[in-house]
Amino acid sequence: MVVYLDIIFLMNVLIDGALMWTTAWSRKLRFRFWRLLLAAMIGGSYAIFLFFPPLGFLYTFLVKFLFSLIMLWTAFGFGGLQHFMRNLGMFYMVNFVAAGVVVGCMYVRQSADELLNGILLGRGLTGTLTLIAVGIPLAVWITRTVIRAMKRKQELLTHTAKVDVHIDSVASSCMGLIDTGNQLYDPLTRTPVMVMEASQWGEWIPETWMDKIRRAEVDQIVSSIGTDSFIWQDRLRLVPYRGVNRGTQFMLALKPDKVVITTEQGQTETFKVLIGLDGGRLSSDNAYQAIIHPSLVQTGSGT
C-alpha cells in the first residue's frame, strides 16, 4: 500500500475548510480567511496522526472532540459560551450531513470489495477526491435546504395559532397563520375577515357550491340560494376583494357565533368576524388552514 501523506493532508484541509465555511455560512458568522485556513490545517494535521502508530492514542473520542473545539476557537473565536456551543452544534450537524452524503455516494458507486478494501488504496484515491468534490457541495446544499426549512418552520410556529370557529352546535378547529398583511374587511360593516379553507366545512356546504368556490365563481351561488339545501343561508355574506390581477372578485363568507384563537400568550375570543371561504390550499405543506386577521389577535372583538 502506498500512502501519500501530502495529498491526504491537503485533501483533509480542503474538507475541513469546506465544513468550517459551511458552518460559518449557516450561522452567518464573520471570519477572517487566514483563521479559517489555520483551523483547516489543524484538522488536516490531525488526519496525519493515523499513520504514526505511537500517536494512535490520539484517535479517541475525547481527543477528537478537543480538536474540534480548537478548530472552532481558531476559526471563529469564543464569543461567549452560548455562542460557542451553537457554533459547535452547527459544526457537527454539517459534519454528519457531509459524512452521510459521501458514504452514500461511495455505497452507490463502489462494489462490496472496494468498500471492504477502503478508498485510500491505489487508484481509489482518485475516486475519493471525486467523491469529495461532489459530496461536499451536495452536503452544503442539503444543509442549506434543511436549515432554511427549519427556520421557516420556526417562523411559522411563532406566527401560528389554533383556531376554533363555532356556528350553532358545530365547531371547526384548525391551525391559522397570523398574517399582518391581511387587511380584508367587509366594506359595509368594517368586520374583519378571516380566510379559511372551504374544505374545513365540506360536510355542511353543498358539493355544487364547493365546485363554484374552487373556480372562484361564488357570485353564482347567490342565484342558488333557496334552491340548494344549506343550513346556514342566513349567515352567508359576499365580501368583495381585489385579486392578484387587480380585478374585483367576491369571496363567500360565513357569520360565525364566535371564534376562539389560542396562542402561546393565551386565548382571544371574538364575535365580530367573518369566515371567508377559500377553495384551494392556503399552505403547500398543510401547516395551516386559515389566515388570521391581525386585529383579531391584537385586540379581539367583543361585539
CA–CA gap between residue 155 and residue 178 (Å, rounded): 11
Q: Three cell numbers at 20?
A: 468550517
Instruction: From the candidates 113, 168, 179, 228, give the one annotated as an active-site residue.
Output: 179
Show the CA angle centred on residue 294, arms to residues 212 and 243, nearest 5°.
35
Instruction: Confirm whether 228 is a catalytic residue.
Output: no
| Distance separating alpha carbons of residues 214 and 212, to the nearest angstrom | 5
Grid coordinates belonging to 62: 475525547
Q: What is the CA radius of gyration of the chain?
A: 30
Whether residue 247 contacts residue 219, with contact meaning beta carbons closer than 8 Å, is answered with: no
Count CB neighbours of 106 within 10 A: 17
Cell numbers found for residue 164: 376554533
Q: Phi/psi zone of residue 168: left (φ > 0), alpha (ψ -120 to 50 degrees), beta?
A: left
Residues near 227 by Cβ (< 8 Å), separated by ≥ 6? none
User: If DSSP codes are grouped into helix, strand and coil, which group holds residue 186?
Assistant: coil
Supply the DSSP symbol for 131.
H
Four-residue CA torsion sign, 236, 238, 241, 246: positive
SS3 label, residue 301: coil
- Only one residue has cell 340548494, namely 228
Q: Describe the strand order of the beta sheet including 258-263 as a list of residue ranges.
A: 236-242, 248-254, 274-278, 193-197, 290-292, 170-178, 160-167, 258-263, 266-270
**Which residues carry out catalysis?**
179
